[in-house]
Amino acid sequence: MDKGWGLTLENISDRVGFFSNKSVLGYSLSPRVSNRSTMFPVDSSGRGEHHTAAPPPAGEHTVDFFSEKKRSIDEVNAFVKKEINETRDYDVNTGLQLLTASDQSTVDDGVSSEDAEDRRAKIEVELERMKGENQRLKGMLTHISNNYTALQMQLNTLMQQQQNSALIETTQLHKIIERKAEEKKEARQFLELSPNQMNDEQSVTSSDERSSRNKRVNRDENHESEPYKAPKLSPPPSNPPVDQPTEATMRKARVSVRARSEAPMISDGCQWRKYGQKMAKGNPCPRAYYRCTMAVGCPVRKQVQRCAEDKTILTTTYEGNHNHPLPPAAMAMASTTSAAANMLLSGSMPSADGLMNPGFLARTMLPCSSNMATISASAPFPTITLDLTQQSPNPLQLQRPGPQFQSPFGSVTAQAIPQVFGQVLHNQSKFSGLQMSHDGNEPGPILAGQPLQLHQPSYADTLSAATAAIASDPNFTAALAAAISSILGGAQPNNNGGSTTNNNNAKVNTIDDNSNLQGN
């Protein structure tokens, strides 16, 4: 913290002689609170006037012990500050008067003993008065402290309830997944035990399949041991994949976003590095492969390819989960795609016949509608496609009517989708076991890129517009800014991301030079 408040406090003690007894009050004043005092401004640097990034020194009694609830803290802080400032204001004046009177009485004259007695009596009266006020102040501070504690407990209770409800819901989802996994396992065991009853040819086929499967597993495991070559499967060290979808499972799920864009790649706020390009069969446009470079070893990859039929449509397929905090610019898309992927995995894995369970997915994703996003049953990996090509090209006009989710059963405006995704994601944060650290400094793993800040309603609102803007406009910075400002009036969640949107955008835009991707 800065040096200003310490000097201020000394000044207070020297000048008043009152705060030296502040411990008697049973409430140690926060340096931060002192710092904000308008009576005793800090040094000229002014560093103490606002929140600083550095935490208060250990052991100090500060009032921001739950930094996540910044707004609540600010309210409490403001209240405490106000009370204490008023208190101090009074004390200072009193103290100065007392000292001045006392000093003058002993220094200036002292000739008349009657006068001395008189002044001593006055001082005693004054002291009595101060005692009483001291008691009153003590009571005030106790009252403030009690209020503060009560608020704190209320907040803790609310947070606890929120966590419990999320835990219950995710546990239920978990059970569904485990049941599915059990069913699959049993079916597989049955198939592998069956060769006893098969003829030779069938036995060979079965063993071939087994060896083939084992090969796959071995390859994956080998990749797992290579942090760079295959970060996709390296489990986060602090998050053992117990009772949750494995990293491999999560990576298998894919989310495709179809959006109209003249740019070679939609800007989603993340930083990507191209690591390959291939000509895919049946499409004259090459497919580009990118991996996330916002953090070393981030397993997220994406493929970008133009639609063969309509080359203005860009299909971006995301795969994997970010293992690092994301900038605000990247959160909208990341949360949407991750939530879709989670729904894909948790709602229902592809069953043996390759069909999804649309009912569950529809109910979970879109409780207000029976529609759903397109799910590919024939793809090697479960893939959900979010079609955002039906929307207005102007991001400022995206809010209503919004983009649509195409579905074999109809379509539904995507306006509500990110909100639903956000809520679902919030509820599933524990299910995934990939959570961002609360202080936001440590790059805790994130469920497909979206940390838990979605519980803030305002941010869920932001996602609505931001996601649409991202998908439609390659100039993401302007689109996001417009979308957010139009809804929140410029307010954004305090995020922990490192890089700025502009930076990301600048990097992404360098791909404009890649004319290969524009199609032949």
Using CB under 7 A as the criterion, which residues of the chain lie in contact with DNA when the complex forms? 212-213, 215-216, 219, 223, 226, 228-230, 232, 271-282, 287-289, 293, 301, 303, 380, 507, 510-511, 513-514, 516
> What is the secondary structure of 132-155 as a DSSP string?
HHHHHHHHHHHHHHHHHHHHHHHH
d(CA 103, CA 464): 68
Going by C-beta distance under 8 Å and a sequence separation of 6 or more, which residues neighbour residue 28? 22, 60, 61
**Minimum distance from residue 19 beta carbon to DNA (Å):** 52
**Minimum distance from residue 272 beta carbon to DNA (Å):** 7
User: Bridge partners of 276?
Assistant: 289
Nearer to DNA, 11 or 222 (CB): 222
Nearer to DNA, 246 or 397 (CB): 246
Nearer to DNA, 108 or 513 (CB): 513
- Say how far residue 385 (Cα) sits from the centre of its chain: 24
**Minimum distance from residue 288 beta carbon to DNA (Å):** 7
E-strand ranges in 243-391 read 254-260, 272-279, 286-292, 301-306, 313-319, 374-376, 383-387
d(CA 257, CA 469): 13
CB 338 within 8 A of CB 302: no
E-strand ranges in 416-461 read none
Block residue for tokens 């995995």:
345
Instruction: Please give the C-alpha separations between residue 71 and each of 67, 74, 75, in angstroms, as whole numbers.
Output: 9, 5, 6
Cα-Cα-Cα-Cα torsion 207, 209, 211, 212, nearest 10 degrees, comes to 160
**Minimum distance from residue 231 beta carbon to DNA (Å):** 8
**Minimum distance from residue 7 beta carbon to DNA (Å):** 43
**Minimum distance from residue 250 beta carbon to DNA (Å):** 14
CB 416 within 8 A of CB 464: yes
**Minimum distance from residue 233 beta carbon to DNA (Å):** 10
d(CA 289, CA 278): 8
Six-digit token string for 461: 């609102």
**Minimum distance from residue 337 beta carbon to DNA (Å):** 16
Q: H-helix or E-strand containing 63?
A: none
DSSP reduced 3-state for 405: strand
Longest Cα–Cα distance of the chain, Å, equals: 126
Residue 357: HSE in the Cβ half-sphere, 13 Å Cα cutoff: 16
CB 334 within 8 A of CB 273: no
CB 384 within 8 A of CB 256: yes
**Minimum distance from residue 301 beta carbon to DNA (Å):** 5
Task: List the one residue out of 298, 494, 334, 362 whose CA is nearest residue 425.
Answer: 334
Nearer to DNA, 48 or 231 (CB): 231
CA 418, 424, 425: angle at the middle one, nearest 5? Answer: 85
**Minimum distance from residue 505 beta carbon to DNA (Å):** 12
d(CA 268, CA 413): 21
Nearer to DNA, 67 or 205 (CB): 205
Nearer to DNA, 174 or 301 (CB): 301
**Minimum distance from residue 443 beta carbon to DNA (Å):** 17
DSSP reduced 3-state for 382: coil
**Minimum distance from residue 331 beta carbon to DNA (Å):** 21
Nearer to DNA, 279 or 491 (CB): 279
